[in-house]
Chain A
Amino acid sequence: MPFEMTRRGLLAAGAASLLLPDRAFSAVPQRIVSLDYGLASTLLSLGLVPKAIASRADWDIWVIEPELPAEVADLGSSWEINFEVLESLKPDLILTTPFNEALTPRLETVAPTLTLGVFTVEGGDVLPKAVAATRALAARVEKPQEGEVFIARTEAFFDSCRARIERINAPPLALINFLDARHARIYTSPGLYHNVMQRIGLQNAWSAPGNFWGFETIGIERLAEITDPATRLIAFEPVPADVMPKLEQSPLWQALPFARPGHFAVLPGALMFGMLNDAVRFARLLTDHLEQAA
Chain B
Amino acid sequence: MSVRSHLGPASIVLALLTVALVLAVRQAAPVLGDAAANAGMARIVFINSTLPRMATALLAGACLALSGALFQQVLRNPLASPTTLGISAGANLALVAVTLFVPGLLGFGRDLVALSGSAAAAGLVFLMGARQKFSAFSLVMSGLVVSLWCGALSAVLMLLNERYLVSLFIWGAGSLSQQSWTIPLSLAPKLAIVCVAVAVILRPLVLNELGDAGARALGVNLGRLRVVAVIAAVALAAFVTSAVGVIGFIGLVAPTIARLAGARRAGAQLVWSTLIGSALLFLTDTTLLATAGTFADFLPTGAVTAIFGSPLLLILLPRLKIRHRLMEAPAPVALKPETARRAARIVLPAAILVLAAALFFGRSPDLGFTLMPPDLAGDLMALRLPRIVAAFFSGAMLAVAGTILQRLTGNEMASPEVLGISAGATLGVAAAVFLVATPGLGAQLGFSALGAFGVLFVIFLIAARSGLQPERVLLAGIALSAMVDAVIGVIGATGDPRAIFLLRWMSGSTYSVTVLAAVLAAVLAVALVGAAGLMRRWLDLLPLGASAAAALGVPVGRARLLLLGLAGLLSAVATMSVGPLSFVGLMAPHLARQLGFVRAAPQLLGGALCGGMLMVAADWLGRSLAYPYEIPAGLVSALVGAPFLIILMRRARG
A218's nearest neighbour on chain B, judged by CB, is B298
Task: For residue B417, give the distance in angstroms from its CB to the closest CB of chain A.
Answer: 22
A263 at the interface (CB under 8 A from B): no
CB contacts (< 8 Å) of A213 on chain B: these are 495-497
Tell whether, in the assembled complex, residue A240 and residue B103 are in contact, meaning their CB atoms are under 8 Å apart.
yes
CB contacts (< 8 Å) of B77 on chain A: these are none
Task: For residue B198, give the distance in angstroms from its CB to the closest CB of chain A.
Answer: 30
Tell whether, in the assembled complex, residue A181 and residue B495 are in contact, meaning their CB atoms are under 8 Å apart.
no
User: How far apart sit A98 and B440, CA to CA, in the bound complex (Å)?
Assistant: 11
Q: Give the contacting residue for B175; candidates A83, A101, A219, A227; CB below 8 A.
A: A219
Task: For residue B205, give the distance in angstroms from its CB to the closest CB of chain A.
Answer: 36
Tell whether, in the assembled complex, residue A215 and residue B630 are in contact, meaning their CB atoms are under 8 Å apart.
no
Name B337-383 residues within 8 Å CB distance of A: 362-363, 365, 376, 379-380, 383
Tell whether, in the assembled complex, residue B504 and residue A79 are in contact, meaning their CB atoms are under 8 Å apart.
yes
Tell whether, in the assembled complex, residue A182 and residue B629 are in contact, meaning their CB atoms are under 8 Å apart.
no
A245 at the interface (CB under 8 A from B): yes
What class of interface size applies to chain B in its complex with A?
A: 35 or more
Task: For residue B431, give the distance in angstroms from its CB to the closest CB of chain A.
Answer: 15
Name A41-78 residues within 8 Å CB distance of B: 55, 57-58, 61-62, 73-77
Tell whether, in the assembled complex, residue A77 and residue B383 are in contact, meaning their CB atoms are under 8 Å apart.
no
**A251/B167 contact (C-beta < 8 A), A77-B629, A102-B440, A240-B106 known:** no
Q: Give the contacting residue for B44; candidates A74, A121, A227, A255; CB below 8 A.
A: A255
Name A200-255 residues within 8 Å CB distance of B: 211, 213, 215-221, 224, 227, 238, 240-242, 245-247, 249-253, 255
Tell whether, in the assembled complex, residue A85 and residue B493 are in contact, meaning their CB atoms are under 8 Å apart.
no
CB contacts (< 8 Å) of A179 on chain B: these are 166-167, 170
User: How far apart sit A220 and B52, CA to CA, in the bound complex (Å)?
Assistant: 14
Task: For residue B311, give the distance in angstroms from its CB to the closest CB of chain A.
Answer: 25
User: How far apart sit A245 and B624, CA to CA, in the bound complex (Å)?
Assistant: 41
Tell whether, in the assembled complex, residue A241 and residue B298 are in contact, meaning their CB atoms are under 8 Å apart.
no
Tell whether, in the assembled complex, residue A76 and residue B177 are in contact, meaning their CB atoms are under 8 Å apart.
no
Tell whether, in the assembled complex, residue B171 and residue A180 are in contact, meaning their CB atoms are under 8 Å apart.
yes
User: How far apart sit A250 and B162, CA to CA, in the bound complex (Å)?
Assistant: 30
B179 at the interface (CB under 8 A from A): yes
CB contacts (< 8 Å) of B376 on chain A: these are 87-88
Tell whether, in the assembled complex, residue A250 and residue B180 are in contact, meaning their CB atoms are under 8 Å apart.
yes
**Chain A interface residues (CB < 8 Å from chain B):** 55, 57-58, 61-62, 73-77, 79-80, 82-85, 87-89, 98-99, 101-102, 105, 121, 179-183, 185, 211, 213, 215-221, 224, 227, 238, 240-242, 245-247, 249-253, 255, 273
Top 3 A-B pairs, shortest CB-CB distance: A219-B177, A179-B167, A221-B49
**Other CB < 8 Å A-B pairs besides A216-B296, A217-B166, 6 of them?**
A58-B163, A77-B162, A79-B500, A121-B438, A179-B167, A250-B180
**Chain B interface residues (CB < 8 Å from chain A):** 38, 41-42, 44-45, 47-49, 99, 103-110, 159, 162-163, 166-167, 170-171, 175, 177-180, 182, 296-298, 362-363, 365, 376, 379-380, 383, 437-441, 444, 493-497, 500-501, 504, 509, 511-512, 627-630
